[in-house]
Structure 1
Amino acid sequence: MQPLKGIKVLDFSTLLPGPMCTLLLAEAGADVIKIERASGDDMRDYSPKIGADSVNFSLLNRGKKSIVADLKDPAIIAKIKHLITEADVLVEQFRPGVMDRLGLAYEAVAQMNPRLVYCSITGFGQTGPSAQIAAHDMNYQARAGMVALSADRHGVPLVPPVLTADLAGGAYPAMMNILLGLRKRDLDGLGCHLDVAMADNLFTLMYWGLGNGWAANQWPSPSNELITGGSPRYQVYQTLDDKFLAAAPLEEKFWINFLTLVGLTELQSVEDARLVTARVAKVMAQRTAAEWLTIFEGHDVCVTEVVGLEHATQDPHFVERGVFKRTLHTSDGTVINALPTPLSPLFLGEESSVSSPSLGQHTHEILK
Structure 2
Amino acid sequence: MRPLEGLFVLDFSTLLPGPMAGLLLAEAGAEVVKVEREGSGEEMRGYAPLWGGDGVNFALLNRGKKSIALNLKDEAARAKLLPLVEKADILLEQFRPGAMARLGLDYATLSGINPRLIYCSITGYGQTGPKLNAAGHDLNYIGDSGLLALSMGEPSRGIVPPALIADIAGGAYPAVINILLALRERDRTGVGCHLDIAMTDNLFPFTYWAMGNGLAAGEWPGNGTDLVTGGSPRYQLYGTADGRVVAAAPLEQKFWVTFCELIGLDPALRDDSRDPDATRTGVAALIARETGEHWRALFAGKDCCCSVVATIREAMDDPHFQARGLFDRRVTNFDGQSLPALPVPIAPAFREDASVSRETPGLGAHNQDYLR
Which residue is equivalent to 1:308? Answer: 311
Which residue is equivalent to 2:295? Answer: 292
Residues 238 and 244 in structure 1, CA contact (< 8 A), matched pair in contact too:
yes
Residues 147 and 206 in structure 2, CA contact (< 8 A), matched pair in contact too:
no
Which residue is equivalent to 1:158? Answer: 159
Q: Does 1:367 align with 2:368?
A: no
Q: Deviation at 1:160?
A: 1.8
Equivalent residue of 1:206, what SS? helix
Which residue is equivalent to 2:245? Answer: 244
Residues 148 and 157 in structure 1, CA contact (< 8 A), matched pair in contact too:
no
For 2:195 and 2:166, the matched residues in 1 are separated by 17
Residues 5 and 30 in structure 2, CA contact (< 8 A), matched pair in contact too:
yes
Deviation sequence 1:93-143 (CA, Å, 0-9, x none)? 110001111111111111111111110000000001111011111111111
Which residue is equivalent to 1:146? Answer: 147
Equivalent residue of 2:200, what SS? helix
Give the 5 Å matches for 1:169-318: 169-264=170-265, 265-271=267-273, 272-318=275-321
Which residue is equivalent to 1:82? Answer: 83
For 1:197 and 1:291, the matched residues in 2 are separated by 45
Residues 327 and 337 in structure 1, CA contact (< 8 A), matched pair in contact too:
yes
Give 5+ residue unaligned stretches, structure 2. Answer: none
For 1:150 and 1:158, the matched residues in 2 are separated by 8
Equivalent residue of 2:234, what SS? coil
Residues 270 and 279 in structure 2, CA contact (< 8 A), matched pair in contact too:
no
Which residue is equivalent to 2:7? Answer: 7
The code of the aligned residue for 1:367 comes to L
Residues 147 and 157 in structure 1, CA contact (< 8 A), matched pair in contact too:
no
For 1:78 and 1:153, the matched residues in 2 are separated by 54
For 1:190 and 1:309, the matched residues in 2 are separated by 44
Q: Deviation at 1:263?
A: 1.9
Deviation sequence 1:329-351 (CA, Å, 0-9, x none)? 11112111111101011111235
For 2:69 and 2:152, the matched residues in 1 are separated by 44
The code of the aligned residue for 2:97 comes to P
For 1:138 and 1:154, the matched residues in 2 are separated by 15
Q: Deviation at 1:148?
A: 2.2
For 2:3 and 2:96, the matched residues in 1 are separated by 31
Q: Deviation at 1:64?
A: 0.6
For 2:295 and 2:58, the matched residues in 1 are separated by 41
Q: Deviation at 1:13?
A: 0.5
Deviation sequence 1:38-58 (CA, Å, 0-9, x none)? 120011011111112110111
The code of the aligned residue for 2:348 comes to P
The code of the aligned residue for 1:26 comes to A
Q: Deviation at 1:228?
A: 1.1
Which residue is equivalent to 1:35? Answer: 35
For 2:181 and 2:155, the matched residues in 1 are separated by 44
The code of the aligned residue for 1:364 comes to Q
For 1:12 and 1:184, the matched residues in 2 are separated by 23
For 2:14 and 2:289, the matched residues in 1 are separated by 50
For 1:154 and 1:123, the matched residues in 2 are separated by 25
For 1:254 and 1:284, the matched residues in 2 are separated by 17
Q: Deviation at 1:270?
A: 4.2
For 2:161 and 2:337, the matched residues in 1 are separated by 31
The code of the aligned residue for 1:335 comes to S
Residues 8 and 87 in structure 1, CA contact (< 8 A), matched pair in contact too:
yes
Residues 24 and 341 in structure 1, CA contact (< 8 A), matched pair in contact too:
yes
Residues 147 and 158 in structure 1, CA contact (< 8 A), matched pair in contact too:
no
* Matching residue within 330, 333, 336 for 1:330: 333
For 1:42 and 1:291, the matched residues in 2 are separated by 45
For 1:177 and 1:346, the matched residues in 2 are separated by 21
Which residue is equivalent to 1:17? Answer: 17
The code of the aligned residue for 1:206 comes to T
Residues 150 and 157 in structure 1, CA contact (< 8 A), matched pair in contact too:
no
Residues 4 and 28 in structure 2, CA contact (< 8 A), matched pair in contact too:
yes
Deviation sequence 1:146-184 (CA, Å, 0-9, x none)? 222233256643112101110000000001100000000
Residues 269 and 278 in structure 2, CA contact (< 8 A), matched pair in contact too:
no
Which residue is equivalent to 1:64? Answer: 65
For 2:346 and 2:140, the matched residues in 1 are separated by 29
The percent identity for this pair of structures is 53
Equivalent residue of 1:336, what SS? strand
For 1:292 and 1:42, the matched residues in 2 are separated by 43
Q: Which 10-residue stretch deviates more, 328-337 or 151-160?
A: 151-160
* TM score, norm. by length of structure 2: 0.96
For 2:299 and 2:361, the matched residues in 1 are separated by 48
The code of the aligned residue for 1:219 comes to W
Count of residues paired in the alignment: 368
Residues 63 and 357 in structure 1, CA contact (< 8 A), matched pair in contact too:
yes
